[in-house]
Amino acid sequence: MARSSLISLILGGGKGTRLFPLTELRSKPAVPLAGKFRLIDIPISNCLNSGLEQIYLLTQFNSVSLHRHIRESYKFDRFGHGFVEILAAQQSQDEAEHDWYQGTADAVRKNLRYIEQHGVKHVLILSGDQLYRMNYSKMLATHKKSGADVTIGALPVTRQQAKGFGIMTLNDDGRVTDFTEKPQTDEAIDAVRTDPAWMDAHGIQSNGRDCLGSMGIYLFDRDVLVELLKADDAEDFGKEVFPRAIQSKHVQAHLFDGYWEDIGTIRSFYEANLELAGPTPPFDFADAAAPIYTQSRYLPSSRIGGGTITGSLISDGCIIGKNCTIENSVIGLRSYIGDGVTIRNSVVMGADFYQEDWHRTDDFAAGRPPVGIGDGSTIEGAIVDKNCRIGRNIAFAPPAAPAGAQYAPDADYDWGVLRDGILVLPKNTELPDGWTPDSGTAVRAVEATTASA
């Protein structure tokens, strides 16, 4: 396969409202992951590990930090043909491109001029907010062997999970004969279920799963994609393009049964991170054959004063004080953690910069906590975004769930949010020494908002 014959398009996603406030100041693919990576690093690394080096990234919301990360992370040999190029939503003389991207298909349609370049034969379309490891060359092999016009990555899911997926029905050869977006009733799911025995016979252990969900990974023959997108103004692949394409094109499923997680909500983000910190993570970053790439930051090793750290990820450049307890947590880049701090079941994203000692001294003199977590504080069941200033002797934990409920009800506060039982402290928030939820309004540190990620 000539390198120029297949291009990859990574969709940067919408506003990311379900991940708010993590997406208040950044786009969803730019959200930090596992302490030192970003969500966008996953599909880009999968492409590079599959030998695909011509990558376009489609963005439009809060994309400054994402653009900076791409620019500083993915630099190719100037004598080669590789690139990661950003295609931001923009106005042009073409009336069809005067608006924001209205959906997945619309975003690709507005960039057809890149797809229609000479020599392009196949187009791989990916999402920028999923965690998985996949060799796309195997998907291309399925596509070619079956003679397909379109191939969709297919993941076995349970009936309950099926309500959040586009569900495919296949014939015996794996050709897609029906595509239903997020069926909600038992009757609708029964109509699109796949016989578990068929999955088992095709190398997938069904394990009680009887539906095949779309992974949001699509491989098109270039000319077929152009034809489908020019036929009408359909905005979404799952809801509009695929149901129509099945009637006139050969749409094939490529079966995948590895770890795959859509990082679309606060709860899914939180749980995925904590799973990565466990002793047997479902997704292993320590894979020499298929590494996950990210920005080279040249940070020093973390310095740990003492205490107990169990089941946790500690990123580069951290300073952790004496007598600390860190359990089942992710500690991000440049985190400053004072003496006697306890962190449990939490994601602490760290900081974009190191604070000079004199600056920290000035903050203390002014009665302001420096960047980091102050002495004697406790963080539990929380996500602490970057550059937060948490003072001394603060207890930051979600309220108890009412009787009969799994979590306390979602809530919006002037200092953060509670989502699915998880407290989220937004980027640049400042909590003074001894702060409690009822003690007063928190402060947002304006000077940190333009720092690099």
Mean pLDDT of 245-261: 94
> What residues pair up with 261 in beta bridges, in sequence order?
131
Least confident piece of the model among 58-72, 241-255, 263-277, 346-360: 58-72
Q: Has residue 448 got a pLDDT over 80?
A: no
3-class secondary structure for 114-128? Answer: HHCCCCCCEEEEEEC
Ranges 123-132, 327-336, 433-442: which has the least confidence? 433-442
pTM of model > 0.95: no
What are the residue ranges of helices labelled H in 120-241? 136-146, 159-162, 186-192, 196-201, 222-231
81-131 pLDDT, tens digit each:
899 998 877 555 555 445 667 788 888 999 999 999 999 999 999 999 999
pLDDT number for residue 12: 82
Q: What is the mean pLDDT of residues 407-428?
A: 95
With contact defined as beta carbons under 8 Å apart, do 132 and 213 qualify?
Answer: no
pLDDT for residue 441:
66
Long-range contacts of 173-176 (CB under 8 A, 24+ apart): 173/146, 174/146, 174/202, 174/252, 174/253, 174/255, 175/146, 175/148, 175/250, 175/251, 175/252, 175/253, 176/152, 176/242, 176/246, 176/251, 176/252, 176/253
Please tell me the least confidently modeled range out of 186-190, 305-309, 435-439: 435-439
445 pLDDT exceeds 70?
no
Does pLDDT of 199 surpass 90?
A: yes
Percentage of the chain lying above the pLDDT 90 cut:
73
- The 10 Å Cβ neighbour count of residue 295 is 19
Structure confidence by residue, pLDDT tens digits, 15-27: 778 899 999 989 8
For residue 409, count CB atoms less than 10 angstroms from its CB and return exposed for 0-12, middle for 13-18, buried for 19 or more.
exposed
Q: How confident is the model at residue 201 (pLDDT cuts 50, 70, 90)?
A: very high
Residue 453 pLDDT greater than 60, yes or no: no
51 vs 64: which has the higher pLDDT: 51
* Position 450 confidence tier, pLDDT thresholds 50, 70, 90: very low
